[in-house]
Amino acid sequence: MAPDAAVLVILTVVGAATPLLFAALGELVVEKSGVLNLGVEGMMILGAVSAFAVAVSTGSGALGVVAGMLAGMAMAFIFGVLTLTLAANQVATGLALTIFGLGLSSLMGASFIGIPVEPLAKLSIPGISQIPIIGPLFFGHDALVYLSFAAVVAIAWFLKKSRAGMILRAVGESDISAHSIGYNVIAVRYRAVLFGGAMAGLGGAFLSLSYTPLWNEGMTAGRGWIALALVVFSSWRPWRLLVGAYLFGGVTILQLYTQGAGGLGIPAQVMSMLPYLATILVLAVIAAGPWKGRLDAPACLGKPFRPST
């Protein structure tokens, strides 16, 4: 393969991995606070359609990205009211949120199908971005790609080093203990859930404004679910999440290329299953394996909390 072609493959892997990374980082923080939000797919796709609609209407990609994040947060707020304030079942609410998001996004996006949009501006440093291989690989992305890497560093630092991050982990580890020491469990979880919504919306915005860039019904195509699986795969560690997102991004692209190359005699349908099969395999291995990945799960994950007064 020519160097240029290799660079192109890597660039598409970055494109496939970035939305996964955003959504999964958000969900990681949510789960660390003890909340399981299965509505990532729904928040993501609503972020995608909102970002696209605003970007097309205003002509501003940046406004589109902000709109995507706000849409994700609005969805997360609904989830928060139901599961945190009203203590509804988190699994059922999350599933409902996904179905709701898929339906609502189709409705909102009906008139935007097939319309082109100006993709997000790529970084361009005269001279440097033109260096062969290194230029496009490191200096030719749009701002969101760099933001996703910064987010890994920031979240890893936040969880490990900051006091607020320590309180968030404590709330996810034992809500009752945190409450009896005097922390406001529900408030901490609200913030985490809203952050998760914004990150899922950001992932969606990247999809519709940078990766494709187009709006299509159901265009997230299960990426929200892969993001959920990635959180488990990473055993709730941001750096492993980065590796995982690029691994899964790579599998997605591999599938596209082998289809293009005649599928190596494998039916195209089997190849498109690949990312999802990999997800199932990884989850099964982690659950059963000697690594005991579940050991790292926040102890209160998915349990509703009702403070007594």
- Chain residues binding other proteins by CB under 8 A are 163, 166-167, 169-170, 173-174, 176-183, 291-292, 294-296, 298-299, 308-309
Nearest distance in Å: CB 88, other proteins: 18
CB atoms within 10 A of CB 304: 15
Comparison of 269 and 309: residue with beta carbon closer to other proteins? 309
DSSP 8-state class, residue 83: I
Q: How far is the CB of 175 from other proteins (least distance, A)?
A: 10
3-state DSSP of 157-223: HHHHHCHHHHHHHHHHHCHHHHHHHCCCHHHHHHHHHHHHHHHHHHHHHHHHHHHCCCCCCCCCCCH
Q: How far is the CB of 295 from other proteins (least distance, A)?
A: 5
Calpha distance 208→219 (Å, rounded): 8
Nearest-approach distance from CB 172 to other proteins, in angstroms: 9
What is the rounded CA–CA span in Å between residue 288 and residue 284? 6
**What is the nearest approach in angstroms of other proteins to the Cβ of residue 180?**
5
CA distance 47 to 41: 10
Q: Which of 215, 211, 225, 201 is nearest to 46 (CA)?
A: 201
Q: Which residue has the tokens 């959180």?
A: 231
Name the residue nearer to other proteins (CB basis): 294 or 306.
294
Nearer Cβ to other proteins, position 11 or 167?
167
- CA distances 113 to 53, 77, 216, 217, 293, Å, are 10, 27, 6, 8, 42
Q: Which is nearer to other proteins, 172 or 275 (CB)?
A: 172
Q: Which is nearer to other proteins, 136 or 298 (CB)?
A: 298
Distance CA 177, CA 155 (A): 24
Q: Which residue number, 122 or 303, has a Cβ lying nearer to other proteins?
A: 303
The residues with which 142 forms a beta bridge, in sequence order, are 122
CB of 173 to other proteins, least distance (A): 4
Cβ proximity to other proteins: between 120 and 156 the closer is: 156
Do residues 65 and 51 touch, judged by C-beta distance below 8 A?
yes
SS (H, E, C) 103-166: HHHHHHHHHHCCCCCCCCCECCCCCCCCCCCHHHHHHCCEHHHHHHHHHHHHHHHHHHHCHHHH
CB of 275 or CB of 298, closer to other proteins = 298
CB of 46 to other proteins, least distance (A): 33
CB of 167 to other proteins, least distance (A): 7
